[in-house]
Every structure is written in C-alpha cells, then in structure tokens.
C-alpha cells in the first residue's frame, strides 16, 4: 500500500486443530506526519513547517519550505491538518507565537502565509473503503507572530462529516520576515496553536 492508505490485514492458521483467523484494518505509516486517533474530538495529524536555512536581508523576504527528500518528498506532497469532531457546530482558529532563538526574537510583524487551503471530508474513515471528498477551500490564511487567534473555518462552513482535512499547498507556504531581522547562525522556532471549537 501507499503511505496513509487503509488496508485490511488478515491472518489464518490451520493444522490438526480448528482453523483460526483474524483480521483488522491498518493504516500504512505516513512518513511526513504522525497520525493519532483522538478519543473524542481533536487533531488526528498536524503539520510541522520547516523553512530550512535562510539569510538575513535588507528588505522584507518570503521564504518557502525547505526542500529535502525526507521532508514531504522534496515538495511533491503537501503538509496537512486533519481533525475529528463529533458536534454539529464547529470552527477552527490558529495562532502563531513569536519566533525565538536562544538569544534573539523575530518581530511580531513576521507572518506565516499558508495560502488558501483546499478542504476535504472523509467517509468510511479508517476503513479500506475510505474516501476523501473535496468540499471547498478556506480564504487565504495569514498568521501574524503575535499569538492572535485567526479564524480559519467559520461555524457550519463545512458540514456532513466528522473528519476534515486542510491541505496546505507546499509551494504556497511562506515565512515572511521583515527587513534586517534575524541573527546569522541562530535557529528560530515558533509554535502554531490550532483551536478546534465545537458545540451542539
């Protein structure tokens, strides 16, 4: 199978006894992102955005994701966010923290640009008959590095399923850094907090 695909695995034994058989569904490991199963509602898989090594510039720059064979197949696959919800009312926000290194910070005017994300729902999730269905697209997503919650999906924008996925087109994901920011040799990290809000 291919990465992320759901297959049915079975084992049958026989001999001088009553035959025994067992089967279960298994999902082929996704090499790009971990996939978990929330007990009720939450996030099945969240992306990590890595922009690799970038330079300090005298003007505002937009940096794309790093291209490496072990990172979304050199950009041939897309980072994604997959959620599970059970309530009919649901919305999604995201907020970005200020990127910091051991001794420096990038300004809160730094932005993470994710573009307009195609949204899909799933039917028969975690079954060999699983289907991914396109249901729409978000508005262009831009997160300022000031921990302000930004609405990604509004309440009831997408309905009819309990599993949804947002695909972030690899080449559309950019880190926008203002002019003359950053220190050579420093490694900066920031956190995206995804907030799934649900209700009856």
Q: What's the pTM?
A: 0.86
Residue 193: per-residue pLDDT: 98
Say if 75 falls within a structural domain: yes
Q: Which domain holds residue 39?
A: 33-199
Say if 8 falls within a structural domain: no
Closest CA to 47 of 77, 84, 92: 77
Lowest mean pLDDT among 23-27, 64-68, 117-121: 23-27
Say if 6 falls within a structural domain: no
What separation, in Å, do the N-terminal and C-terminal C-alpha atoms of the chain show? 38
Do the beta carbons of residue 69 and residue 169 sit within 8 Å? Answer: no
Residue 25: per-residue pLDDT: 56
Q: How far are the Cα atoms of 3, 8, 110 from residue 26, in angstroms, in the given order?
A: 11, 6, 41
Residue of 132 and 1 predicted with greater confidence: 132
Q: How far are the Cα atoms of 98, 166, 200 from residue 125, in angstroms, in the given order?
A: 36, 16, 22
Say if 20 falls within a structural domain: no
DSSP tag of 190: -
Residue 20: per-residue pLDDT: 64
Residue of 15 and 141 predicted with greater confidence: 141
How many residues in the chain?
Answer: 200
Do the beta carbons of residue 50 and residue 35 sit within 8 Å? Answer: no
Total structural domains within the chain: 1
Say if 167 falls within a structural domain: yes
């Amino acid at each position: 199978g291919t990465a992320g695909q759901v297959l049915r695995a079975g084992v049958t034994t026989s001999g001088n006894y009553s035959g025994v058989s067992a089967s279960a569904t298994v999902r082929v490991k996704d090499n790009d992102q971990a996939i978990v199963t929330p007990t009720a509602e939450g996030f099945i898989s969240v992306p990590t955005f890595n922009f690799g090594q970038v330079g300090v510039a005298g003007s505002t720059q937009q940096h794309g994701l790093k291209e490496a064979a072990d990172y979304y197949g050199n950009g041939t696959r897309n980072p994604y966010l997959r959620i599970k919800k059970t309530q009919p009312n649901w919305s999604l926000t995201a907020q970005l923290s200020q990127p910091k290194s051991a001794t420096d910070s990038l300004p809160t005017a730094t932005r993470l640009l994710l573009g307009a994300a195609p949204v899909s729902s799933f039917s028969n999730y975690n079954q060999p008959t699983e289907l991914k269905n396109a249901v729409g697209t978000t508005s262009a997503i831009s997160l300022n590095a000031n921990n302000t919650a930004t609405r990604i999906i509004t309440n009831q924008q997408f309905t009819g399923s309990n599993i949804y996925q947002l695909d972030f087109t690899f080449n559309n994901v950019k880190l926008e850094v203002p002019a003359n920011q950053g220190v050579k040799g420093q490694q900066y990290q920031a956190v995206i907090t995804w907030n799934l809000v649900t209700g009856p």
